[in-house]
């Protein structure tokens, strides 16, 4: 596994760097007459990216080419402040330049086990597959200070190797149920992009990027793309202990 670091001055520049990557890939796909299948995470760091995309990239990106899937979703109504879809809708999707038919949300309001099954079937129908798992072009991941990513938490490492593409997870503190892509789906992607900003992420990033022994217990240390690479888009504060 090789880590590629993209260190920007601050969180806004991180968002611009990832927005430019999405723009580059979307234009490539449009020129090939294909679609860009991207799975996105929730959290405050992705939110900064979506807000930037909504405010400054309407004319920059061929949005008809971009198809949005979710990495994970909290089991709440889409209108709930906790909803990852709701956050993305407010920041980006409510601006009409993303066609509705390109939006494949996880239905957090439904019975979790049923929704995990439905979404797994949806991915079979909507996304190419390899080795029995869906293949996304890009998966955008956040990383928690506890080393979780997606909704794969340190006390649920078995989700990394689940036979299923989508599973139900439980937040270890709040016990909130989540729908999440599993490790095998994430590792099947063409490109894995971590977004992490702020000094609070400096410790976990050091442990993972320096492959410290302790990193083995962190889910975020076990994901990489088909070529075994991981792109970290981070700011100076988050890189301060590397």
Which residues would be at the binding site for ligand 6PG (CB under 6 A)?
41-45, 71-72, 84, 142-144, 148-151
Find the residue with minimal CB distance to ligand 6PG. 142
Task: Report, in Å, the least distance between residue 86 CB and ligand 6PG.
Answer: 12
Of 36 and 223, nearer to ligand 6PG (C-beta) is 223
Output the six-digit token pair for 139. 């998966």
Task: Report, in Å, the least distance between residue 43 CB and ligand 6PG.
Answer: 3
Q: How far is CA 176 from each of CA 71, 78, 168, 221, 240, rounded to the nearest angstrom?
A: 16, 15, 10, 23, 32
Output the six-digit token pair for 150. 């997606």
* Euclidean distance between CA atoms 5 and 230, whole angstroms: 9
Of 41 and 184, nearer to ligand 6PG (C-beta) is 41
* Euclidean distance between CA atoms 49 and 112, whole angstroms: 28
Of 41 and 65, nearer to ligand 6PG (C-beta) is 41
Q: How many CA atoms lie within 13 A of 220 on its CB side?
A: 30
Task: Report, in Å, the least distance between residue 140 CB and ligand 6PG.
Answer: 9
Percentages helix, strand, coil for the chain (3-state, rounded to 5) are 40, 20, 40
Task: Report, in Å, the least distance between residue 165 CB and ligand 6PG.
Answer: 16
Task: Report, in Å, the least distance between residue 161 CB and ligand 6PG.
Answer: 18
Of 8 and 72, nearer to ligand 6PG (C-beta) is 72
Of 29 and 234, nearer to ligand 6PG (C-beta) is 234
Output the six-digit token pair for 123. 């991915």
């Amino acid at each position: 596994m090789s880590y590629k670091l993209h260190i920007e001055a601050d969180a806004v520049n991180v968002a611009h760097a990832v927005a430019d990557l999405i723009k580059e890939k979307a234009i490539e796909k449009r020129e090939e007459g294909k679609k860009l299948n991207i799975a996105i995470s929730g959290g405050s760091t992705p939110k900064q990216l979506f807000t930037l995309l909504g405010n400054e990239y309407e004319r920059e990106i061929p949005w008809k080419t971009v198809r949005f899937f979710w990495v994970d979703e909290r089991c709440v109504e889409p209108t709930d402040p906790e909803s990852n879809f709701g956050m993305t809708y407010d920041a980006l999707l409510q601006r009409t330049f993303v066609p509705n038919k390109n939006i494949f949300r996880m239905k957090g309001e439904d019975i979790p086990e049923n929704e995990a099954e439905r979404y797994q079937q949806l991915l079979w129908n909507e996304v190419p597959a390899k080795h029995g798992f869906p293949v996304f072009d890009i998966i955008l991941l956040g990383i928690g200070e506890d080393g979780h990513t997606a909704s794969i938490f340190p006390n649920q490492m078995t989700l990394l190797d689940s036979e299923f593409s989508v599973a139900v997870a439980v937040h270890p503190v709040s016990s909130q149920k989540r729908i999440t892509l599993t490790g095998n789906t994430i590792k099947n992607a063409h490109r894995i992009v971590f977004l992490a900003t702020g000094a609070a992420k400096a410790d976990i990033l050091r442990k993972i990027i320096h492959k410290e022994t302790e990193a083995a217990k962190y889910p975020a240390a076990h994901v990489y793309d088909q070529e075994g690479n991981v792109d970290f888009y981070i700011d100076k504060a988050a890189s301060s202990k590397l």
